Amino acid sequence: MTSNGHRRTASPLTTAATVVRLLRSPQIRLLLSLSGKLVTPVYRAAFLTGAASSGVLRRLAEGPADVHALAASLGVQDDTRRLARWLDAGVTLGQLQRRNGTYTLRSRLAKQLARIENDAAAGALEEVVRFHQPVLIDAPRMVREGRSFGLGDQDGSVIARSSLVVQPFIEEAVSRVLDRERPVRLLEIGCGSGVYVRHAAALNPRLTAHAIDLQPEVAEEAARNMDRWGLTERVTTRQGDLRTLAFDERYDLVTLHNNIYYFPEADRVEILARAREALAPGGRLLLTTSCQGGGPSLEVLGLWFEFADFGGPLPVEDELVQQLVKAGFTDVEAHRIVPGEQFRAFVGTNA
Ligand SMILES: C[S@@+](CC[C@H](N)C(=O)[O-])C[C@H]1O[C@@H](n2cnc3c(N)ncnc32)[C@H](O)[C@@H]1O
């Protein structure tokens, strides 16, 4: 008898012959293969997403912590038991280590995702786990039921962070298009975090800008950033929709980064013509976007927008050039700006 009062027996209930037979069963072999190749990586991705977005990774990057210290940093009041169970799942998944009740980061990915400079990668992982997985899982049912995603099915702040994976390339495109010799009035549509307005403002000290974003919480975050960056004198930041925006002035540069696919394909000429209306004569549009024909994550990004009731597929490079021409732009050019990726900068002039 053990101290718990139950009898422990030496002879196993399952014989060696049964184990061998089970291991030969095609279904058991499939399950073992699924577990190693698919299930565990999916669990790891989900755990790392939760650990990054809750701040647990960053807290552990500062030093070892027990469940009480982690609970305090997460604002958890009483329920440390369930928090510990979740942390222990992270240990089982090889992402955390636990010694004498204290947790540390274990895997290389966990350590990298904990770093503030890798926040865009953490955001991209969260976008994949929270938004790309559902479209892959639910697409057949959504088609059958005639359902679509709405803007509310996306978390604007996660998207604003994950969009920054291409930040160095978009900044390079802004640097090439921006006039630095004269004062410039910039209109940024769908500004996200606002980093590209900040970049343009740093390149041209006489630049003033109006930054808008459709999603109120995104516009609020951008406004807070402008304040933090000391730019409120030069930049106004508002919630706004390109489709209905009244233009109080005309701009020298209009920018749209990573958002042309928020508009249905059939509306794009009209949308681009609206962006042109905002330009002063001779003003330029800079539009950066992922295009069709990229790897799996771009494919699934495009799929999500095809299943959204407001958006459309990623553009095809040549078609977008044609749409810009139809919208009245001249000197339209498309530039490859991310090596090896279907990511392009389109430039057009309001003649
Ligand atoms: C993928 S995010 C990109 C954010 C930012 N431009 C960047 O590249 O980091 C696209 C943004 O466009 C905004 N947006 C979509 N449709 C819009 C519209 N009609 N008017 C203004 N903003 C819009 C969304 O709210 C979202 O924040």
Please tell me whether residues 161 and 109 are part of one structural domain: no
Please give the pLDDT value at position 13.
74
Q: What pLDDT score does 149 carry? A: 97
Mutational pocket test of ligand 1: of 167, 172, 262, 301, the residue with most ligand atoms within 8 Å of the beta carbon: 262
| CA 37–ligand 1 middle distance (angstroms) | 36
Q: Is 60 in the same domain as 175? A: no
Are residues 201 and 296 located together in one domain of the fold?
A: yes
Q: Are 326 and 207 within one domain?
A: yes
Confidence of residue 248 (pLDDT cuts 50, 70, 90): confident
Q: Which residue has the tokens 């009245």?
A: 328
Residues 103 and 165 both lie in one domain: no
Q: Residue 206 above 90 pLDDT?
A: yes
Q: Are residues 161 and 242 in the same domain?
A: yes
Mean per-residue pLDDT over the chain, rounded: 95
Are 208 and 62 in the same domain?
A: no
pLDDT of residue 20: 84
* Token reading at 235: 């930049």
Q: What percent of the chain shows pLDDT beyond 70?
A: 97
pLDDT band at 16 (very low <50, low <70, confident <90, very high): confident
In-domain check, residue 141: no
Per the domain annotation, does 221 fall within a domain? yes
Nearest CA to ligand 1 atom 22: 190
Q: Which residues pair with 349 in a beta bridge?
A: 284, 330
> CATH no. for residue 55?
1.10.10.10
Last residue of a domain, one of 86, 114, 142: 114
Taking CA atoms only, the protein residue closest to ligand 1 atom 5 is 192
CA of 222 to the centre of ligand 1 (A): 11
DSSP bridge pairs for 188 = 211, 255
CATH number at residue 214: 3.40.50.150
Share of the chain above pLDDT 90, in %: 89
**Residues 6+ away with beta carbon under 8 Å from 238:** 210, 211, 212, 219, 223
Residue 340's pLDDT is: 85
Could you tell which of 214, 286, 287 is best to mutate to test the pocket of ligand 1, judged by most ligand atoms within 8 Å of the CB?
Answer: 214
Same-domain check for residues 186 and 315:
yes
The answer to whether residue 287 sits within a structural domain is yes
Residue 11 domain-assigned (yes or no)? no
The answer, yes or no, to whether residue 208 has pLDDT greater than 90, is yes
131 assigned to some structural domain:
no
**Are 163 and 100 members of one domain?**
no
Q: What is the mean pLDDT of residues 5-30?
A: 79
How high is the pLDDT of residue 283?
98
Please, which pLDDT band fits residue 300 given cuts at 50, 70 and 90?
very high
pLDDT tens track for 280-297: 999 999 999 999 999 999
Is residue 130 situated within a structural domain? Answer: no
What does the alpha-carbon distance between residue 204 and residue 200 come to, in Å, rounded to a whole number?
6
Give me the pLDDT at residue 3, please.
56
Which of 94, 114, 134 terminates a domain? The answer is: 114
pLDDT digits (tens, 9 = 90+) for 167-197: 999 999 999 999 999 999 999 999 999 999 9
**Residue 192 and residue 335 in one domain:** yes
Is the pLDDT reported for residue 1 higher than 70? no
Does the C-beta of 222 come closer than 6 Å to ligand 1?
A: no
Domain membership flag for residue 148: no
For 266-290, b/e burial (b = at least 16 CB within 10 A) is eebbebbebbbebbeeebbbbbbbb
* Span 105-129, average pLDDT: 97
Whose alpha carbon is nearest atom 13 of ligand 1? 190
pLDDT at 4: 59
Q: What is the pLDDT of residue 238?
A: 97
Domains identified in the chain, total number: 2
pLDDT tens-place string over residues 59-99: 999 999 999 999 999 999 889 999 999 999 999 999 999 99
Q: State the residue range of the domain holding 238.
A: 157-349
Q: Ligand 1 atom closest to Cα of 212?
A: 21
Same domain for 302 and 191, yes or no, is yes
pLDDT in tens, 137-154: 999 999 999 999 999 999
199: confidence class by pLDDT, cuts 50, 70, 90 = very high
- Considering the domain architecture, whether residues 340 and 216 belong to the same structural domain is answered as yes
Residue 2 has pLDDT above 60, yes or no: no
Q: Which of 61, 80, 114 is the last residue of a domain?
A: 114
With a cut of 60, say whether residue 246 has pLDDT above it.
yes
CA distance 333 to 335: 7
On whether residue 119 sits in a domain, the answer given is no
Report the half-sphere exposure of 65 (CA within 13 A, side-chain side): 21
